[in-house]
Structure 1
Amino acid sequence: MTKLKHSLQLQRKNILTLFLIVVFIWSLFAVTWSDDLIHAGGLATIGQVLEGLFQPNFSPEILSLAIESTWITFAYAVAGMSLAIVIAFFLGLFASGILNNSRGMKLASKGFFRAVLGFLRAIHELVWALIFVAMFGLTPLSAVLALAIPYGGILGRIFADMLNDVPEEPIQALRSSGASKLQCLLYGYFPIVRSNIISYTMYRFECAIRSSAIMSFVGLGGLGFQIQLSLNDLNYDEVWTFIFFLIGIVVLVDIWSSQLRKGLNKPKQGFSVKTFSILLVTVFLTISWWFIFVVENASLTDLFSEKNAYYAQKFFRGLFGVAVEEPAFLNRDSWLEALQLTYETLRMSIMAIGFSTIAMFLTVIPAARNIANGSLTLTAKWYNWLFFGFIRILYIFSRAIPELVWAMIIVFIFKPGVLPGAIALALHNFGILGKLCAEVIENADERPVRNLASSGASQSQMLLYGVLPSVMPQFLTYILYRWEVIMRTTIVVGFVGAGGLGLQFKMSLSFFHYTDITLLLICYCLLVVIADFISEAARKTAK
């Protein structure tokens, strides 16, 4: 019976893998493959971009501007994440259902608040930024709120899942001793999930820095704004200077996060790390909010002023089609056009995850530490560490640059369409997917590989028959997860001419066609929901 079950499970995985390959091939037909895909000066532009990469502009003026822009980007990210944590804490707590005793109330609470969290995280932060700028103007608070809402939705969902996964035994022990709900939270749930929550929050903070950089697209300043200006002036040496600063800040946060995780896992050794982190967070929060309210002159009073209330009311009336003779979301032709763009966006996302998956498979094995040091395959080569270092740096470089920045560079080389959008998304997600999958190999069970080694198998045979079969289910889980993320991000690369719903969204907003925006947002949310459903079903098949 066990063998039959295992055989059926293996068959489902093979069918799923074949299906995903076929779907990727299908997505490639969205592009007319010809020399016409590249601009007339596209090849020359590639040379100029690469020249700027190796000869960045480190003049005092540019460095001063880069430092100032880095701080703005960082301050927005810190302020946005602080609000996101507050949103995530309360919504995540209610979405977990752990505060409700009756089954009916628990299901109702979980259903309602998970739906709220799903809506918050379904819409990309740049779309929120455009909406808030239309309502409140170019205030730093527009950027902070645009970061806080989707990240609050993402963190809240994860917090709720972590609280749901807490074992019942310690909680029941507290309840039986007469502990209240608050005491169960403080002494039962929170201590168990604390380390995982902090670890994931640090990861999302790294993501928030990249997101903060692209707030520039709506004119809110920061590194992305300088990158955009330099690209428009074709000053690629300046572009790479600002990109290097962005990479630097992401790497520093990544190092801090890594050290903090080690400290949390080893309490006695990690006291100084935790204390330092608490002090650092306190300083960052204080200075960031001071900068926003004092230096940038942001005001909560102005945010909710009568003038902003008028523009917000006008904006929402436009979205709902009030006093519009024929709103786009009630027009058949508009729906057909929007659905065609949705179909195009879907194919772009599949093409992007396909490209990044192929690149990941070509690089992930030498990027694993236990392959580089020979502890997994029992074969150590001197050049393994060279490959390991080069690929790991490539991963950092790839994922530290936001999709929108990649897209802004690529549209100078390729003509607008699905392909440049897919390449931009693939370049960013390649680094993330590679890092995650390399860590899967590092944490893999070594016994099957050791057994193959003792029977005389070659290194390639050990990798093919020992390593890959054991890590493939987790690989597939990460690939599907990143596809969900890509689906949410496709709208962003469209803003710079990469096709799909994003390009039309930008045009509709520019021409104040608000009912068109409503229709596009409906299609976008439907696409995200469908992607979540398909991804979840595929993950269950892969288990």
Structure 2
Amino acid sequence: MKSDRFNFHLPKRFFLTLLLIAVFVWSLFSVEWNKDVFHTGGIPTMLQILKAIIHPDLSPPLLILGVQSAWITLVYAVSGMSLAIIYAFIVGILASGILTSSKTSRLFSKVFFRGLLGFTRSIHELVWAWLFVAAVGLSPYAAILAIAIPYGGILGRIFADMLNDVPEQPVKALKSVGASRLQILFYGYLPLVLIDMVSYTMYRFECAIRSSAIMSFVGLGGLGYQIQLSLADLKYEQVWTYVFFLIVLVLFVDIWSNFVRKGMSEQNRTKLLRSGWLSSFFAILLITCSWVYITQGDNADLFALLTTQNLEYAKKFFGGMIGFNDKHPSFLDASSWSSAMKLTLETLEMSIMAIGFATIAAFLTVIPAARNIANGSLTLSKKWYNWILFGIVRILYIFSRSVPELVWAMMIIFIFKPGLLPGAIALALHNFGILGKLWAEVIEDMDQRPIRNLASAGASKGQMLFYGILPTVMPRFLTYILYRWEVIMRTTIVVGFVGAGGLGMQFKLSMSYFQYTDITLLLLCYMILVIIADFASESTRKAAK
């Protein structure tokens, strides 16, 4: 019986792998691979940028400005994530359908609430920020809500998937003794997914810091604003100073995340409780300080946004997007749809190319990046060079993911001519570090007993990798690839702002020329892409099981 099941799954996963490789190869044909992809003078500029890493500007005034900008970036991220978690937890549970009893109500719950999550996460946070700023002006709440809405949608979708993947046996056991739906939720579902939920939330918090940094593109402050000014003045030494501040923030979240994950996996109940209380206290303190700064230090009044003048601006802006007073709105014009769909296809190709590059790079580096391989606890083999490789790859991951896609794109556009390739490379550079970190954590959290059994039986490293580690972690690897692909698809709009092509470039032009119905059309195209990603993700996850 087990043999038949194995033989059935092996071809399915094999053909799925071939299909994904074929799609990636197809995306490569969207680029003309010749010497014309490079910019004239791009290589010398790249050398200047790389040289500036070694000699950042460390003058006291710049460091003081960096600390102030880093605090603003952190405050926006913390405040936005605090709202996102509340939204994601409530709507994610409803979207999973686990609280419903009948098939009809479960289907309705999944369709409606997943649709809500899909809409809120389909629009990139920078676009939300631009919409809020255009409607109500420059305000910290524009940045906070711009982070909270899409991040709540992303977290909610992942929470729903985690709850749906919970094994049925513990839930059936609780149902058999008459437990209520809430009891089943809190004693059956949540304990089994809590570590993964917290781990992914911490990861999204790290992403929120980078999102907070790029709010500068629409006039909101923070590290991104300083990076943008320095890049415009070609002061690369200052650029890297601010980037290093951003890396420090990412490292802070990374260390905190490792502390939380280590504490939650602690077997000793006393240590577990102490770790949980410390993390919870620090989180509450950070959230409180952030909101106090927003409301008191920054003098931001939420109700001030609801003035008659702001409401009139919002009415005019969103009315223009709907097409009021426009006899020929773009979203009702066939030729506009034809042009937009071509850009949509380009955006799809860019996203596939980017996730393909990032996946290849992460796959080649993830094994030495796992802590339990570096210390030999997984393979029962300690080598002196393991920790050296671990340190090099982890630093590479941190550096890669700490620099936002927008900053990577601003630098790469000096080297490559505008088009899909520089956008794909910028997205891949950023997501390489993210995928590598997430995959390394999957290896660190896996059940070590089967691998140790292979090691004690005399299996080589290659045999442990291909017969022990990879079969166990590949489903989770694939899940993260699909999640990141969906995020990349949304993020293509960011690199498009600096000339990387696709829907993003056209969106920036439409915003600059106040072509509101064009904006609506392009946002609809982004929603179509998210629907495609949702369908592909769900189908691929089911096929991989």
TM-score when normalising by structure 2 = 0.91
| Farther off after superposition, 144-153 or 22-31 | 22-31
Structure 2 counterpart of 1:331? 333
Structure 2 counterpart of 1:127? 127
Task: Write the mapping of 1:118-157 to structure 2, written as runs, cut at 5 A.
Answer: 118-157=118-157
Structure 2 counterpart of 1:250? 250
Contact 1:477 1:539 in 2 (8 A): yes
Structure 2 counterpart of 1:541, which letter? A
Q: Measure, in 2, the Cα distance between the counterparts of 1:99 and 1:376.
A: 38
Q: Measure, in 2, the Cα distance between the counterparts of 1:210 and 1:383.
A: 32
Structure 2 counterpart of 1:249, which letter? L
Asked if 1:78 corresponds to 2:84, the answer is: no
In structure 2, the CA distance between the partners of 1:452 and 1:79, relative to structure 1 (3 Å rule), is closer
In structure 2, the CA distance between the partners of 1:304 and 1:213, relative to structure 1 (3 Å rule), is same
In structure 2, the CA distance between the partners of 1:288 and 1:332, relative to structure 1 (3 Å rule), is same
Q: Measure, in 1, the Cα distance between the counterparts of 2:473 and 2:197.
A: 25
In structure 2, the CA distance between the partners of 1:219 and 1:464, relative to structure 1 (3 Å rule), is same
Q: CA deviation at 1:333?
A: 1.5
Q: Counterpart of 1:268 in 2: which secondary structure?
A: helix
Q: Counterpart of 1:496 in 2: which secondary structure?
A: coil
Structure 2 counterpart of 1:433, which letter? L
Contact 2:171 2:184 in 1 (8 A): no
In structure 2, the CA distance between the partners of 1:172 and 1:463, relative to structure 1 (3 Å rule), is closer
In structure 2, the CA distance between the partners of 1:357 and 1:96, relative to structure 1 (3 Å rule), is closer
Q: Measure, in 1, the Cα distance between the counterparts of 2:102 and 2:23.
A: 44
Structure 1 counterpart of 2:116? 116
Q: Measure, in 2, the Cα distance between the counterparts of 1:84 and 1:71.
A: 20
Asked if 1:92 corresponds to 2:95, the answer is: no
Aligned residues with identical type, % of pairs:
61
Q: Measure, in 1, the Cα distance between the counterparts of 2:196 and 2:481.
A: 22
Q: Counterpart of 1:395 in 2: which secondary structure?
A: helix
Q: Measure, in 2, the Cα distance between the counterparts of 1:380 and 1:434.
A: 22
Q: Counterpart of 1:498 in 2: which secondary structure?
A: coil
**Aligned length in residues:** 539
Asked if 1:12 corresponds to 2:12, the answer is: yes
| Farther off after superposition, 223-232 or 271-280 | 271-280
Q: Measure, in 2, the Cα distance between the counterparts of 1:504 and 1:160.
A: 33
Q: CA deviation at 1:173?
A: 6.9
Structure 1 counterpart of 2:393? 391
Q: Counterpart of 2:283 in 1: which secondary structure?
A: helix
Q: CA deviation at 1:536?
A: 1.8
In structure 2, the CA distance between the partners of 1:378 and 1:97, relative to structure 1 (3 Å rule), is closer
Structure 2 counterpart of 1:351? 353
Contact 1:328 1:334 in 2 (8 A): yes
Task: Write the mapping of 1:244-283 to structure 2, written as runs, cut at 5 A.
Answer: 244-266=244-266, 267-283=269-285
Contact 1:487 1:528 in 2 (8 A): yes
Contact 1:449 1:466 in 2 (8 A): no
Structure 2 counterpart of 1:55, which letter? H
Q: Measure, in 2, the Cα distance between the counterparts of 1:108 and 1:18.
A: 35
Q: Counterpart of 2:326 in 1: which secondary structure?
A: coil
Structure 1 counterpart of 2:526? 524
Contact 1:328 1:519 in 2 (8 A): yes
Structure 2 counterpart of 1:401? 403
Counterpart selection for 2:171 from 165, 168, 171 = 168
Q: CA RMSD in A?
A: 2.6
Q: Measure, in 1, the Cα distance between the counterparts of 2:503 and 2:521.
A: 10
Structure 2 counterpart of 1:311, which letter? Y
Structure 2 counterpart of 1:389, which letter? G
Counterpart selection for 2:301 from 293, 299, 302 = 299
Task: Write the mapping of 1:206-225 to structure 2, written as runs, cut at 5 A.
Answer: 206-225=206-225
Contact 1:376 1:450 in 2 (8 A): no
1:417-444 Cα shifts (integer Å, max 9, x gaps): 1011100110111111112223344436
Q: Counterpart of 2:528 in 1: which secondary structure?
A: helix
Counterpart selection for 1:290 from 289, 292, 312 = 292
Structure 2 counterpart of 1:168, which letter? V
Q: CA deviation at 1:203?
A: 2.4
Q: Measure, in 1, the Cα distance between the counterparts of 2:475 and 2:303.
A: 52
Q: Measure, in 2, the Cα distance between the counterparts of 1:105 and 1:376.
A: 45
Q: Measure, in 2, the Cα distance between the counterparts of 1:161 and 1:364.
A: 24
Q: Counterpart of 2:369 in 1: which secondary structure?
A: coil
Structure 2 counterpart of 1:338, which letter? A
Q: Which blocks of at least 5 consecutive residues in structure 1 are unaligned?
A: none
Task: Write the mapping of 1:349-388 to structure 2, written as runs, cut at 5 A.
Answer: 349-388=351-390
Q: CA deviation at 1:472?
A: 3.6
1:384-408 Cα shifts (integer Å, max 9, x gaps): 2211210111111111222122112
Contact 1:477 1:542 in 2 (8 A): no
Structure 1 counterpart of 2:270, which letter? K
Q: Counterpart of 2:431 in 1: which secondary structure?
A: helix
Q: CA deviation at 1:381?
A: 3.0
Q: Measure, in 1, the Cα distance between the counterparts of 2:454 and 2:83.
A: 51
Q: CA deviation at 1:341?
A: 0.5
Contact 1:39 1:415 in 2 (8 A): yes
Q: Measure, in 1, the Cα distance between the counterparts of 2:106 and 2:462.
A: 52
Q: CA deviation at 1:520?
A: 0.6
In structure 2, the CA distance between the partners of 1:85 and 1:379, relative to structure 1 (3 Å rule), is closer
Q: CA deviation at 1:450?
A: 5.5
Structure 2 counterpart of 1:247, which letter? I
Asked if 1:494 corresponds to 2:496, the answer is: yes
Contact 1:379 1:459 in 2 (8 A): no
